[in-house]
Amino acid sequence: RRIVILISGRGSNMQTLVQACREQDWPAGIAAVISNRADAPGLAWASGQGIATAAVPHRDYPTREAFDTALAEEIDRHAPDVVILAGFMRVLTPGFVRRYAGRLVNIHPSLLPAFPGLHTHAQALATGVQAHGCTVHFVTPVLDHGPVIAQGVVPVLAGDTAETLADRVLEVEHEVFPLAVRWLVEGRARLGEEGRVEVEGVA
Examine residue 152 and tell whether it contacts ligand GRF (CB under 6 A).
Answer: no
Q: Which of 109, 133, 146, 147 binds ligand GRF (CB under 6 A)?
A: 109
Stretch of 106-114, 122-130, 153-161, 189-197 contacting ligand GRF, by CB under 6 A? 106-114
Q: Determine if 13 is a binding residue for ligand GRF (CB under 6 A).
A: yes
Was 35 annotated as part of a binding site?
A: no
Nearer to ligand GRF, 5 or 189 (CB): 5
Produce one character per residue of 134-164: b if its CB has 16 or more CB atoms within 10 Å, e if not.
bbbbbbbeeebebbbbbbbebebeeebeeee
Binds ligand GRF by CB under 6 A, chosen from 5, 11, 154, 176: 11
108 is an active site residue: yes
173 counts as binding ligand GRF under rule CB under 6 A? yes
Query: In whole angstroms, what is the distance from residue 157 CA to residue 167 CA?
Result: 12
**68 contributes a contact to ligand GRF by CB under 6 A:** no
Among 43, 53, 67, 87, binds ligand GRF (CB under 6 A): 87
Applying the rule CB under 6 A, the residues between 27 and 66 that interact with ligand GRF are 42
Q: Long-range contact list for 167-173, CB < 8 A, 24+ apart?
A: 169/109, 169/121, 169/132, 169/133, 169/134, 170/12, 170/109, 172/133, 172/134, 173/13, 173/107, 173/109, 173/134
Residues classed as catalytic: 108
Give the footprint of ligand GRF on this chain (CB under 6 A). Answer: 7, 9-13, 42, 86-87, 107-109, 134, 170, 173
Q: Residue positions in the annotated binding site?
A: 11-13, 64, 106
